[in-house]
Amino acid sequence: MEAARHHLKSEHGGIRTGSVVVNLAEYQFRDDDDAYRWDAEGWFGGDVNRFVLKTEGEGTVDADLEDAEVQALYARAIGPYFNLEAGLRYDFEPESRTYAVLGVEGVAPYWFDLEAAAFLSDEGDLLGRVKASQDFRLTQRLLFQPRLEMNLAAQDVPESEIGAGLSNIEFGIRLRYEIKREFAPYVGVSWESAIGDTADFARAGGEDVSSTSIVVGLRTWF
């Protein structure tokens, strides 16, 4: 019976599978320099234990890449709707730096997709990030998505032009059309702004504190 029980467990919850989701792959039209942005993740594993790989970044068309990172995480289910994640993050830009990562990701009440993580760098800097979004289905193929992202820091990080406290916030609304469930172009508007000491760093460097973009992009998964 041991072999039969093992087979039954594999067929009902123990199957190994995986997915890749590109949440954002967009071009941003701005008043000054146009920009681009991506946010994607992939995972492999079962219902309880998974390996997760995440990447995100952005840059301007006429300049160098501004931000780029990759995260390698172990995820374990801590309930029906949330996973606990732990692992490493490596930043390629604006400064090469490694972080330990601890966070949660899942679906909050009222069907908000929620992601929150703390990052401790090899220099002792403590950062935080919170993302939240929700899909409102207007028709079988047309969806409206508000999206909020906030970044925080426990201290000033001058080399990365990050100030203590709430460092920046981004809010966007996107209208997505699912040509197929796994292939959905979108348009929208995105507003982002540096806050507090981070805004002071931006002003000192001759950079804009806030910007508004018209975005065109693609969400896809497989």
Domain 18-221: which CATH number of 2.40.160.40, 1.10.10.60, 3.10.20.600, 3.40.50.410 = 2.40.160.40
Q: Which of 10-19, 127-136, 181-190 has the lowest mean pLDDT?
A: 10-19
CA–CA gap between residue 59 and residue 210 (Å, rounded): 15
Q: Nearest Cα to 133, choosing from 75, 188, 92, 206?
A: 188
Portion of the chain with pLDDT greater than 70, in percent: 96
Q: What does the pLDDT read at residue 11?
A: 64
CA–CA gap between residue 133 and residue 171 (Å, rounded): 10
Residue 190, classified by CB atoms within 10 Å of its CB into exposed (0-12), middle (13-18) or buried (19+), is buried
Token pair for residue 216? 């065109």
Segments making up each domain of the chain, as ranges: 18-221
> What are 30-87's pLDDT values in tens digits?
988 899 999 999 999 988 999 999 999 999 998 889 899 999 999 999 999 999 999 9
Put residue 27 in one of left, alpha, beta given phi > 0 → left and psi -120 to 50 → alpha: beta
Residues listed for the chain: 222
pTM, entire model: 0.90
Helix (H, G, I), strand (E, B), or coil: what is residue 204?
helix
What does pLDDT average to over the chain? 93
> What are 94-108's pLDDT values in tens digits?
889 999 999 999 999
33 Cβ partners below 8 Å, 6+ apart?
60, 61, 62, 63
